[in-house]
Amino acid sequence: MLPRTDDVIQSVLAELKRHPALSALDGIAPAIHEFSPRAMHFSAREISTGRQAVIKVDVDEAEIYWTVQLTSAAPDLFPALLAADHLVSPSGSGRIGFIAWERLPHTLIGPNWEGRQVDLMLDAAARFYQAARTVEPLHLPCCSWDKMRRELEEGCRKNPPGDWRRVLAHAEQDQSWLSQAFAFEVCHGDLHVGNALTRTAPPNGPALLIDLNPVLQPWIFDAAWVEVCQWKDLLRRGPEHTVQYLADRRLALGLDVPPVDVLEKAGRIALSWFAIRSWDPDHLEFMPGFEKATETHVTRGALLHR
């Protein structure tokens, strides 16, 4: 990961300005407020059309490969891709990846979506799985049970609400069952409403996906992560809405979905795991309801009949 020092930012900026794949853009400048732990962003403008662009720098080969392949296979599922390539590293050794996108005007965050943003994003997720099956599966990490176990244990050390001890005690058994019940397939890997945008003002769609973190894993992990991130939806829709909705969308596209009892069991396991992994008591001060949502998922996982 590139350090966010002024020297590094200016070095990357100079490389972007002289990169031939970006010759159709001008006004390239750091977008400091959009720098994130995983990448840094720069704003730009497409010369011929005047439309705004964003350049994401410090992306790995998996994100570049799957962004390029999927925007070709399903162009209506992503913002317009303007360029994807590599820069010389500021250190002078090695290369760093970048992706230049059309900048879309609307996020899926806020009350104007009338609660529809999750469903719009899951519509896009189902089409993502369909499109990913047409792409040669290269540059793909596989979801690691060892990593999942470490993150579960780390979450448990923060003492989340609910009977997390029972969830952890059954985790290895549940992992073995999940690996038999679900095929591993290409998933988005970081599916939440912050990673979806649209050209259309609320409350309409469709949603377009960004910031892929492609990984081979059961698709139900994507659904669980969405629901854990959208913890406020529990009050309105109840638990496992995302699991059932995404299953329905997959069925509509002819993708595989397990029987109802398997789906329910897998959903409760995955939601309890991701709730534990995301638990942070420091969030309680500004996220009222987060504790109750976490407890709901953990308790439902603990009470699961095995």
Write out the DSSP string of 32-73.
GGG--SS-EEEEEEETTT--EEEEEEEE-HHHHHHHHHHHHH
- pLDDT value of residue 91: 78
Domain boundary among 77, 103, 129: 103
CA distance 208 to 197: 5
CA distance 21 to 222: 33
Same domain, 124 and 188: yes
Same domain, 54 and 111: no
Same domain, 63 and 150: no
95 secondary structure, DSSP code: E
CATH of the domain at 34: 3.30.200
Distance of CA 108 to the CA centre of its chain: 13
Q: Considering the domain boundaries, does residue 1 fall inside one?
A: no
74 contact partners, CB below 8 Å, separation of at least 6 = 127, 128, 130, 131
Same domain, 99 and 111: no
Indicate the number of domains in the chain.
2
What pTM was estimated for this model as a whole?
A: 0.94
**Residue 36 region, left (φ>0) first, then alpha (ψ -120 to 50), else beta?**
beta
Domain boundary among 103, 138, 156: 103
- pLDDT value of residue 36: 77
- pLDDT value of residue 34: 76
pLDDT tens, position by position, 45-63:
999 999 999 999 999 999 9
Quote the tokens at residue 77: 């599922």
Whether the predicted pLDDT of 235 surpasses 80 = no
Whether the predicted pLDDT of 74 surpasses 90 = yes
- In one-letter notation, the amino acid at residue 114 is E
pLDDT tens, position by position, 111-167:
899 889 999 999 999 999 999 999 999 999 999 999 999 999 999 999 999 999 999
Cα–Cα distance list, 271 to 28, 162, 282 (Å)? 41, 13, 20
Domain boundary among 103, 137, 158: 103
Same domain, 99 and 119: no
Same domain, 247 and 157: yes
Distance of CA 288 to the CA centre of its chain: 23
Same domain, 91 and 160: no
Instruction: Report, as an integer, the average pLDDT of 68-77.
Output: 97
Share of the chain above pLDDT 90, in %: 87
| Closest listed residue to residue 189, CA positions, set 81, 70, 30 | 70
Same domain, 162 and 91: no
- pLDDT value of residue 250: 98
Same domain, 111 and 193: yes
| Closest listed residue to residue 53, CA positions, set 69, 29, 35 | 29
Same domain, 98 and 114: no
Same domain, 127 and 26: no
pLDDT tens, position by position, 23-43:
999 999 999 777 777 889 999
Cα-Cα-Cα-Cα dihedral of 192, 197, 203, 206, to 10°? -100
Q: Considering the domain boundaries, does residue 282 fall inside one?
A: yes
Question: With contact defined as beta carbons under 8 Å apart, do 97 and 64 qualify?
Answer: yes
CATH of the domain at 211: 3.90.1200.10
Same domain, 200 and 241: yes
Whether the predicted pLDDT of 109 surpasses 80 = yes
Q: Considering the domain boundaries, does residue 85 fall inside one?
A: yes
Domain that holds residue 120: 107-302
pLDDT tens, position by position, 170-187:
999 999 999 999 999 999
Strands 95-102 and 81-88: antiparallel
Q: How many CB atoms lie within 10 A of CB 262?
A: 16
